[in-house]
């Protein structure tokens, strides 16, 4: 059977294009707005990010994944613009799986109103904003691409994700289904499905609640899990599971580990064959695009 290629990018976080009404800021968004203007905004480059987006969209891939944090504050203008930019870069909705990140559910009203699903409707199944439930599924050759939703609104600076039993049960049913037998599961989610550090506080602040149940569910069959959120590259192997993290596609960085970019995965029926990391690295003479193969680190 032929090989399957998947392109993965994440964490667009592009700077705000429009003025923001103060009435939209009387909540956690105020904290995020200050962070964006003072800290995060200084580390983003929109022209370079748009160039990387176009580069990712023109890779000869079977499927494309955008794993969340398309916005900063879950404002309507941000999500509309992200959708427009994905179209303009050349991504095709029928070949592109888009899932939310914590910034796309930044405040409770964004989560309750399903603003992500409403404004990213072109990238989701018809009617999904009204009654759709994750996981999302796409197939290509020997792989079964599954998109989970781990994004929830949190208070303060907490950005942790959540994966509840109902969604895990739906995932288990997808994996059991007759039509999906013999396919290799590639599970996309925004938050990393592994501990994000050794401290309880860091895990509480940024980790994924429910990740251990997800790994137990996938372990017998084996799977590749791909995520964003940390804005760092990682490739870790845990028995029959592999977890690959991609950096942000808009964050300026000076090392291969954190510089803006995307991943190109090649799969065979037996699973993940290789990961090519494409990065724009900021160097003394200016930004340069680098492609390198990402090696796996065994962690169990
Ligand atoms: Fe992010
Ligand atoms: Fe995130």
Residue 192 Cα to ligand 2 midpoint, Å, equals: 10
CA distance 136 to 98: 9
- Return the pLDDT at 141: 95
The alpha carbon torsion through 76, 78, 83, 86 (nearest 10 deg) reads 180
Q: 47-52: long-range contacts (C-beta < 8 A, 24 or more apart)? A: 48/250, 48/252, 48/260, 48/280, 48/287, 49/12, 49/14, 49/249, 49/250, 49/260, 50/85, 50/89, 51/280, 52/9, 52/249, 52/250, 52/260, 52/261, 52/262, 52/278, 52/280
Mean of pLDDT values over 207-211: 96
Residue 191 Cα to ligand 1 midpoint, Å, equals: 9
Label the pairing between strands 261-268 and 4-9.
antiparallel
Higher pLDDT, 31 or 91: 91
Specify the range with the lowest mean pLDDT, choosing from 10-14, 82-86, 252-256, 262-266: 252-256
Residue 85 Cα to ligand 1 midpoint, Å, equals: 17
pLDDT at 37 over 70: no
Residue 58 Cα to ligand 1 midpoint, Å, equals: 23
The pTM for the full model equals 0.94
Nearest alpha carbon to residue 25 among 80, 116, 107? 107
Sheet holding 297-298, edge to edge: 136-140, 143-147, 184-188, 223-227, 241-245, 234-238, 297-298
| Rg of the chain on CA atoms, in Å | 18
Which strand (E) or helix (H) includes residue 171?
helix 165-176
Residue 202 Cα to ligand 2 midpoint, Å, equals: 14
Residues 6+ apart with CB under 8 A from 34: none
Could you report the per-residue pLDDT of 156-187, keeping only the tens digit for each?
A: 889 999 999 999 999 999 999 999 999 999 99
44 — pLDDT class (breaks 50, 70, 90): confident
- Return the pLDDT at 109: 92
Neighbours of ion ligand 2 (CB under 5 A): 69, 101-102, 229
For residue 193 the two structure tokens come to: 């499905």
Ligand nearest to the CA of 161: 2
Query: Degrees (nearest 5) of the Cα angle 96, 101, 107?
Result: 135
Higher pLDDT, 2 or 121: 121
Q: How many CB atoms lie within 10 A of CB 32?
A: 21
Residue 27 Cα to ligand 2 midpoint, Å, equals: 18
CB 110 within 8 A of CB 104: yes
Tracing tokens 């599954």 back to the chain, one arrives at 146
Ligand nearest to the CA of 102: 2
Residue spans of the domains in the chain: they are: 4-298
Query: Degrees (nearest 5) of the Cα angle 69, 199, 39?
Result: 40
CB 72 within 8 A of CB 44: no
- Return the pLDDT at 24: 63
Q: How far is CA 96 from CA 63, 72, 170, 211, 266, in A?
A: 6, 21, 21, 24, 16
- Return the pLDDT at 21: 63
CB 16 within 8 A of CB 78: yes
pLDDT at 189 over 60: yes
Q: How many CB atoms lie within 10 A of CB 162?
A: 15
Residue 296 Cα to ligand 2 midpoint, Å, equals: 23
Residue 194 Cα to ligand 2 midpoint, Å, equals: 14
Which strand (E) or helix (H) includes residue 162?
strand 161-162
Residue 132 Cα to ligand 1 midpoint, Å, equals: 24
Specify the range with the lowest mean pLDDT, choosing from 13-27, 118-132, 199-213: 13-27
Specify the range with the lowest mean pLDDT, choosing from 28-42, 54-68, 191-205: 28-42
Could you report the per-residue pLDDT of 111-144, keeping only the tens digit for each?
A: 999 999 999 999 999 999 998 999 999 999 999 9
Residue 141 Cα to ligand 1 midpoint, Å, equals: 30
Mean pLDDT, the chain, whole residue set: 92
CA distance 13 to 15: 6
Q: How many CB atoms lie within 10 A of CB 22?
A: 8
Residue 161 Cα to ligand 2 midpoint, Å, equals: 8
Residue 71 Cα to ligand 1 midpoint, Å, equals: 9
> What CATH number matches the domain at 4-298, 3.40.190.10, 3.60.21.10, 3.30.420.10, 3.30.70.580?
3.60.21.10
Ligand nearest to the CA of 11: 1
């Amino acid at each position: 059977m032929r090989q399957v290629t998947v392109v993965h990018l994440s964490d667009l976080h592009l700077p705000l294009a429009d003025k923001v009404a103060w009435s939209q800021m009387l909540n956690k968004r105020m904290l995020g707005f200050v962070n964006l203007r003072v800290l995060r905004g200084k580390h983003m480059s929109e022209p370079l990010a748009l160039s990387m987006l176009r580069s990712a969209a023109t890779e000869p891939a079977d499927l494309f994944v955008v794993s969340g944090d398309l916005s900063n504050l879950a404002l309507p203008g941000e999500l509309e613009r992200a959708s427009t930019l994905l179209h303009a870069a050349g991504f095709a909705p029928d070949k592109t799986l888009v899932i939310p990140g914590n910034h796309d559910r930044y405040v409770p009203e964004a989560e309750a109103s399903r603003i992500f699903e409403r404004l990213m409707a072109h990238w989701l199944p018809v009617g999904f904003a009204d009654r759709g439930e994750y996981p999302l599924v796409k197939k290509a050759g020997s792989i079964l691409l599954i998109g989970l939703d781990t994004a929830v609104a949190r208070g303060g600076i907490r950005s942790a994700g959540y994966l509840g039993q109902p969604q895990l049960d739906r995932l288990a049913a997808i994996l059991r289904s007759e039509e999906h037998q013999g396919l290799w599961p590639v599970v996309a989610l925004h938050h990393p499905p592994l501990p994000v550090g050794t401290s309880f506080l860091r895990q509480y602040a940024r980790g994924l609640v429910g990740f251990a149940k997800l790994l137990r569910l996938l372990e017998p069959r084996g799977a590749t899990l791909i995520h964003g959120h940390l804005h760092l590259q990682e490739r870790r192997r845990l028995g029959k599971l592999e977890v690959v993290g991609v950096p942000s596609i808009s964050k300026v960085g000076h090392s291969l580990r954190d510089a803006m970019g995307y991943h190109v995965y090649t799969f065979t029926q037996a699973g993940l064959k290789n990961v090519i990391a494409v990065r724009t690295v900021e160097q003394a003479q200016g930004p340069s695009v680098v492609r390198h193969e990402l090696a796996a680190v065994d962690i169990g």
